[in-house]
């Protein structure tokens, strides 16, 4: 097994460590020397790109969570309205797809039955369909109008890691592509963001070096029955993925909440010692997030915060801090998810779970 996993005890840990390489490959030649974004594989002209009035992103599972990040990014950078939907909901809800809607389907395998059905639904209703997928020649690539590959390489562990981060990266690149096509961003402004993206792989490497700290936290809380993940804005999208990772491989009941929703229900479940992972990477929302953290602390929950760089305000409010390398808040999802992947991994190992093949789950769900 260790040989198959190139020295790692599980595919999941190997794949977590492959993220810097996967991210570099996915950016590759799509970022030009001048810092602009180009997708040579796209057949759409800049005029066609400019013509879209709305984007719908459709996916399942982890890919859906990448879509949630995508919504923030596309709306923020390109000021285009974006809806994100679960493929299993989208296909049955008689979606309103007016002319000029671009459908983006995201799927690691390119084979998920619901996502494929959603793609067909969108096409039948006259949408252009762009697929973001990791498997060359998969069913989804054969039916989509346009295909962008994530170059994550084969992902074996059921719990998706490197596919997610590369999908998220593609969302940033698409946001920039749209923003440039719409004339909303100069090449200099685009270059500022692409430079930041190019620095991400090295920063992910730095996070991976902190794995003993994360393992310690995971082991310490591995006997709990529940865990909560809180965040606002982009952090909320990352919280969703963090909770999914933990529940799928460690079987701990984990829920993600938009931090502002805490008082509308979840707070009733916060009792002494319940671990709450607070994502605290969004500068403009930090104060609000910290007031939610105070509500958790007042009920004696245990708070683990994930923040950018050393932050005394955060450190003073929580029990444990995982400090990410410094980076602008907008790219934080690409960093913040990594400790959550490691936290889920080490928790599952501590609980003796079958990390790569969790019970009842399949890597690719090709039947409904
Ligand atoms: C399964 C996998 C998940 C994955 C989801 C969507 O449930 O266990 O890890 O996120 O399918 O898969 P896709 O291949 O479409 O991204």
Q: How far apart are the first and last CA of the chain?
A: 32
Which residues, in sequence order, are bridge partners of residue 220?
none
Which pLDDT score is estimated for 2? 62
Q: How far apart are CA 69 and CA 167, in angstroms?
A: 10
Q: Which protein residue has the closest C-alpha to ligand 1 atom 11?
A: 364
What tens digit of pLDDT does each residue of 174-187 get?
Answer: 999 999 999 999 99
Q: State the Cα–Cα distance between residues 187 and 179, nearest whole angstrom.
A: 10
Which atom of ligand 1 approaches the CA of 115 most closely?
A: 15
pLDDT value at residue 36 = 97
Of the pLDDT bands very low, low, confident and very high (cuts 50, 70, 90), residue 3 is low
Taking the C-alpha atoms of residue 160 and residue 15, their distance in angstroms, rounded to an integer, is 9
| 363 Cβ below 6 A of ligand 1 | yes
Closest CA to ligand 1's atom 5: 61
Look at residue 133 and give its three-state secondary structure: strand
Residue found under tokens 């709450």: 276
Average pLDDT over all residues of the chain: 96
pLDDT digits (tens, 9 = 90+) for 347-362: 999 999 999 999 999 8
Phi-psi sector, 363: left (phi>0), alpha (psi -120 to 50), beta: alpha
Give me the pLDDT at residue 6, please.
Answer: 84
Interface pTM (ipTM) of the complex? 0.95
For ligand 1, whether the C-beta of 133 sits within 6 Å is: no
Name the residue among 72, 122, 64 with its Cα closest to residue 93: 122
State the burial class of residue 304 (Cβ atoms within 10 Å of its Cβ: 0-12, 13-18, 19+): buried
- Considering the entire predicted model, what is its pTM? 0.97
Query: CA-CA-CA-CA torsion for 205, 21, 192, 323, nearest 10 degrees?
Result: -20
pLDDT at position 1: 64
Stretch 25-47: mean pLDDT: 96
Per-residue pLDDT, 287: 96
The answer to whether 211 is a known catalytic residue is no
**Ligand 1 contact, 63 CB (< 6 A):** yes
Over residues 226-260, the pLDDT tens digits come to 999 999 999 999 999 999 999 999 999 999 999 99
């Amino acid at each position: 097994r260790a040989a198959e996993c190139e020295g790692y005890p599980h595919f999941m840990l190997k794949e977590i460590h492959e993220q810097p390489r996967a991210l570099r490959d996915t950016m590759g030649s799509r970022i030009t020397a001048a810092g602009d974004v180009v997708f040579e594989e796209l057949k759409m002209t800049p005029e066609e790109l400019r013509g879209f009035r709305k984007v719908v992103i459709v996916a399942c599972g982890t890919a859906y969570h990448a879509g949630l990040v995508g919504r923030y990014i596309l709306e923020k950078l390109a000021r285009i309205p974006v809806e994100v939907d679960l493929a299993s909901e989208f296909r049955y809800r008689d979606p309103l797809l007016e002319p000029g809607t671009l459908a983006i389907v995201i799927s690691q395998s390119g084979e998920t039955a619901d996502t494929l059905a959603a793609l067909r639904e969108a096409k039948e209703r006259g949408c252009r369909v762009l697929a973001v997928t990791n498997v060359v020649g998969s069913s989804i690539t054969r039916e989509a109008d346009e295909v962008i590959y994530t170059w994550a390489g084969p992902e074996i562990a059921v719990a998706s890691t490197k596919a997610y981060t590369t999908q998220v990266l593609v969302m940033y690149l698409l946001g920039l592509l749209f923003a440039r096509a719409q004339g909303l961003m100069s090449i200099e402004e685009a270059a500022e963001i692409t430079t930041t993206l190019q620095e991400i792989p090295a920063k992910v490497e730095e996070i991976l070096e902190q794995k003993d700290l994360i393992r310690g936290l995971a082991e310490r809380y591995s006997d709990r029955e529940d865990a909560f993940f809180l965040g606002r804005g982009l952090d909320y999208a990352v919280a969703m993925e963090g909770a999914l990772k933990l529940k799928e491989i460690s079987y701990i009941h984990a829920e993600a909440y938009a931090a502002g929703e805490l008082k509308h229900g979840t707070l009733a479940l916060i009792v002494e010692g319940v671990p709450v992972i607070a994502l605290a990477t969004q500068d403009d929302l930090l104060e609000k997030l910290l007031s939610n953290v105070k509500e958790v602390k007042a009920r004696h929950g245990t708070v683990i915060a994930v923040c950018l760089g050393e932050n005394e305000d955060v450190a003073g409010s929580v029990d444990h801090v995982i400090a990410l390398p410094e980076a602008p808040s907008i790219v934080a999802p690409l960093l913040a998810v990594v400790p959550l992947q490691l936290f889920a991994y080490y928790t599952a190992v501590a609980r003796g779970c079958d990390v790569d093949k969790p019970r009842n789950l399949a890597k690719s769900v090709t039947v409904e």
